[in-house]
Amino acid sequence: MKNFLARLFGKKAAMSIDISIIGTGNMGRALAARTLAAGKNLQVLARDTEASATLAAELGGGTTGGNLTEAPAGRIVVLALPFDAAKEYVTAQGAALDSKIVIDITNPVDFSTFDSLTTAAGSSAAEEIAALTSATVVKAFNTTFAGPLTAGSAAGEPLDVFVAGEDSARTEVAAFATAAGMRPIEVGGLHHARELEGFQLLVMAMQANPALPDFNWGTALKIAG
C-alpha cells in the first residue's frame, strides 16, 4: 500500500510541482496552507507515505503526497523537519537536490533548557545543512510559529518572514513569501542565519516559560512602525 501510494502520487507530481514540503508536522502543514494560498502547486513528502497522502487529500488543490525517499519535484524544497532530520534528508537525497532551493526553517535549540543553541558559536543550522548539499540553502520561516503561519498573520498584521541566503535564491524565497500574503525581510547572506536562529532561541524560550503566560506560541517576531 505504501509503495502503491508513493508511485501513484509520485507520478501525479511529475509535471508542475512548484514546492515540495518535507514533513507533515505542524510546520509542514502551516507552510502547506501558505503555499496553497500563494497559488503554488504543492507536493508533500514524509517518512510515513500514508500520512503524506492523507495530508495531501486534506489540503486539496491538487496537492500530491509521497515518501521522502523520492526525489522532490519542486523547484523549492522546504525542510519542515527537525535539525538532525534535515541534515539526514539532504545527505540522503544527494544529487537529487542539485540546482534546487532548499529552505531551512529549523531552530537548533537545546530543548531541555531553552537556554542555548546546539550549534557552535559562529555557525548556524542553515550553514551546517548547506555544507551537506549541492542545493542552494535559504534560511526562512524559522521565526514564524505554526499557528500564525497557518493564518499568515498575527495581531491582524501580515507575518514578517526573515530571509537569509545567496542573492537570487533569497529573492525567489522572498517572492514566495509575498505571494503567500506575508512580508519578506531580506537580511543578507546565509551567515545571517546565525542571528535569526539566535534570536529565535530567546523567542521560543519566552513561549516555553510558564512564568510568561502571554506568550504561548501564538506570537510573531515583527519589525513594527
DSSP 100-148: -EEEE----B-TTTSSSBSSPTT--HHHHHHTT-SSEEEE-SSSB-HHH
Is the Cα dihedral 125, 126, 127, 129 positive or negative?
A: positive
What x-and-dash track marks residues 32-51 binding a second copy by CB under 8 A? Answer: --------------------
Sheet holding 183-188, edge to edge: 64-67, 42-46, 19-22, 76-79, 101-104, 136-139, 160-164, 183-188
Among 83, 141, 162, 176, binds a second copy (CB under 8 A): 162
187 touches a second copy by CB under 8 A:
yes
Stretch that binds a second copy, among 22-30, 48-56, 165-173, 190-198 (CB under 8 A): 190-198
Q: How far is the CB of 112 from a second copy (least distance, A)?
A: 15
CA distances from 90 to 66, 71, 98 (A): 17, 11, 11
179 touches 38 (CB < 8 A): yes
Among 37, 85, 198, 208, binds a second copy (CB under 8 A): 198
> Rounded to an integer, what distance in angstroms lies between the CA atom of residue 95 and that of residue 200?
31
222, 151 contact by CB (below 8 A): no
| # residues contacting a second copy (CB under 8 A) | 32
Binding segment for a second copy among 13-21, 50-58, 73-81, 151-159 (CB under 8 A)?
A: 151-159
**Cβ proximity to a second copy, 70 vs 186, nearer residue:** 186
Determine if 175 is a binding residue for a second copy (CB under 8 A): no
Closest CB to a second copy among residues 102, 203: 203
208 binding a second copy? (CB under 8 A): no
Q: How far is the CB of 74 from a second copy (least distance, A)?
A: 28
Residue 121 binds a second copy, judged by CB under 8 A? yes
Q: Contact at 8 Å (CB) between 162 and 182? A: no
Which of 58, 155, 167, 175 is in the footprint of a second copy by CB under 8 A?
Answer: 155
Q: Are 46 and 52 contacting, i.e. CB atoms less than 8 angstroms apart? A: yes
Contacts with 55 (C-beta within 8 Å, 6 or more apart), sequence order? 24, 28, 29, 32, 44, 46, 63, 65
Which residue in 14, 115, 131, 175 binds a second copy (CB under 8 A)? 115
CB of residue 214 to a second copy, shortest distance in Å: 9
Query: What is the binding site for a second copy (CB under 8 A)?
Result: 115, 121-122, 148, 154-155, 157, 162, 185, 187-189, 192, 194-196, 198-199, 201-203, 205-206, 215, 218-225
